[in-house]
């Protein structure tokens, strides 16, 4: 199944961001899948987008390891891994850490 996401494949200014169709992730045993309804832009997003400060590149030296941005989101839990106990499908959540 596909979904739309804003992705980036290289560090740079906001011009490197693209709207693409990507495969919808399947949560691992200890993960949740959240359908995002709202997201904010914050300094962490800018750091990951530009690859600055250089410490950010410890995660992905030459190109970003994670292809999407978004640390602060609000949405609804769509799926959970088998080891997840704190969340249930359908839960409305805000301020989750999202790394895809």
Task: Return the DSSP state at 96.
Answer: -
Given its phi and psi angles, is residue 95 left (phi above 0), alpha (psi -120 to 50 degrees) or beta?
left
The answer to the question of residue 48 being in a domain is yes
The answer to the question of residue 34 being in a domain is yes
Write the pLDDT tens digit of every residue in 20-29. 999 999 999 9
CATH of the domain at 66: 3.90.180.10
Write the pLDDT tens digit of every residue in 53-80. 888 788 788 889 888 888 788 899 999 9
Q: Where in the sequence is the domain holding 31, given as residue range(s)?
A: 2-94
pTM to 2 decimal places: 0.75
Phi and psi angles of residue 58, each rounded to the nearest 5 degrees, phi first: -65, -25
């Amino acid at each position: 199944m596909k979904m739309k996401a804003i992705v980036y494949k290289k560090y740079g200014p906001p011009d490197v961001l693209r709207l693409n169709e990507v495969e919808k992730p399947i949560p691992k045993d200890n993960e949740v899948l959240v359908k995002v309804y709202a997201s904010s832009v914050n300094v962490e997003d800018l750091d990951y987008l530009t690859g600055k400060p250089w410490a950010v590149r410890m995660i992905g030296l030459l190109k970003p390891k994670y292809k999407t941005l978004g640390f602060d989101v609000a949405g609804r839990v769509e799926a959970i891994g088998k080891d997840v106990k704190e969340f249930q499908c359908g839960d409305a959540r805000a301020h989750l850490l999202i790394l895809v």
